[in-house]
Amino acid sequence: MKYRNLIIDFSVMLIIILMVGFSEYFTEKEILFPEIAALSIGYLLSPKRSWKVSGPRMLLLISLCAFLGICIVRFLPGSLWLQITIAFFIGQMILLFSGTTLAPMISAIVLPVLLQSESLIYPLSAAFLTGMILLVHCLLEYLKLRPHEVFHALPLPCERDLAACLLRTGFVCLLCRILLPHGWSYLIAPPLLVAFTEMSASGSRIRKMPVRTIFLFTFCALDGTLCRAILQLMFGLPLTCAAVVSVLILLFVIHRSRMYLPPAGAIVLLSMLIPAEILPFFPVEVAAGSIVLTLISLLFFGENLEAAWLRFVTLVHRNFSHAED
């Protein structure tokens, strides 16, 4: 087991060093793809795959969503809240009809919209890095360090799935309208939206451990923030050093806790991407966002979606009534 973990950890660190190193060398932040940490946790570190997906579908879906994200920024006029809502809805629909449970594709489409990235470098980097993850996965299977898991596509979504998708989109739209005018954009950080999608799904595993989920998200935000603030901003070391140390801490926590929560890993690398002036507020926003989205998942998503829709409509009505007053 230790031998297996060392090989996987080394592979993950090598991919992250290459990603952040190339990003620094070419001064191209679009090369940074935070979801690579999530894919590493869910597809390499976890004893079993975190999602029902095949390698080719993973590469296709991540690449497609990353490309659609920059297309929304380039070609869809409108305010940021509308662009994020549309990106989230498209990501949800692709997820539903993809025959998989690969929720990180939602972050792949929302992140460039949140950061207003228009460069084709972003989807190319996402595709290349995802391909590296798949190559490492194949190598681990060849070395018998990971079991071979057969993928069977999920059936088409039912009415309940579509209703849940629309309800999630409604909440994201409402949060965008409330938070973005105040500059609190990382309360809806893309990895948190991935966790929200997974937690609000029926039979969700992380739905059963909400407190640990909130704690891990907060810890990962602090981990990335402190490493970057101390190593890069205070001591002037390369961003790559901060990323390596923060991911090493993340890997240690994962191995000790045995809690494989892919979106939390993406939070660590997201802290390497955001503007430095926002960094002090990042852990607070992530903690608050994880609490809000967890509460929404627990209170509004369950067996009775009709009642959830009624509560949502009431909430929207109250919000806009206060706004008019």
152-204 pLDDT tens trace: 999 999 888 898 999 999 999 999 999 999 999 999 999 999 999 999 887 77
Question: Residues 97, 99, 104, 105: is their CA dihedral positive or negative?
Answer: negative
Rg of the chain (C-alpha set): 19
For 118-151, how does the pLDDT look when each residue is reduced to its tens digit (9 = 90+)?
A: 999 999 999 999 999 999 999 999 988 888 889 9
Pick from 207, 95, 100, 199: nearest CA to 149: 100
CA distance 169 to 256: 35
Q: Is 301 left (phi over 0), alpha (psi -120 to 50) or beta?
A: beta
Q: What torsion, rounded to 10 degrees, do the Cα atoms 250, 256, 260, 264 define?
A: -30
Q: What is the pTM of this model?
A: 0.92
Question: Does residue 62 surpass a pLDDT of 70?
Answer: yes
Question: Does residue 323 surpass a pLDDT of 90?
Answer: no
For the record, the structure tokens of 262 come out as 């892919």
Q: What torsion, rounded to 10 degrees, do the Cα atoms 245, 266, 232, 181 define?
A: -160
* C-alpha atoms less than 13 angstroms from C-alpha of 193 in its C-beta half-sphere: 32
Q: Domains in the chain: how many in total?
A: 1
Which structural domain, as residue segments, surrounds residue 67?
2-148+157-324
20-59: b or e for each residue (b if 16 or more CB lie within 10 Å)? Answer: bbebbeeeebbbbbbbbbbbbbbbbbbeebbbebbbebbb
Q: What was the pLDDT predicted at 318? A: 64
Neighbours of 164 (CB within 10 A): 22
* C-alpha atoms less than 13 angstroms from C-alpha of 43 in its C-beta half-sphere: 29
Mean pLDDT of 59-69: 98
Q: What was the pLDDT predicted at 291? A: 96
CA distance 250 to 264: 9
Burial class (CB in 10 A: 0-12, 13-18, 19+), 221: buried
Do residues 217 and 267 touch, judged by C-beta distance below 8 A? Answer: yes
Q: What was the pLDDT predicted at 139? A: 92
Mean pLDDT of 234-249: 97
Question: Residues 90, 96, 102, 103: is their CA dihedral positive or negative?
Answer: positive
> Worst-scoring range by mean pLDDT, 10-14, 209-213, 309-313?
309-313
- Please, what is the angle between helix 210-227 and helix 282-300, to 10°? 160
CA distance 25 to 15: 15
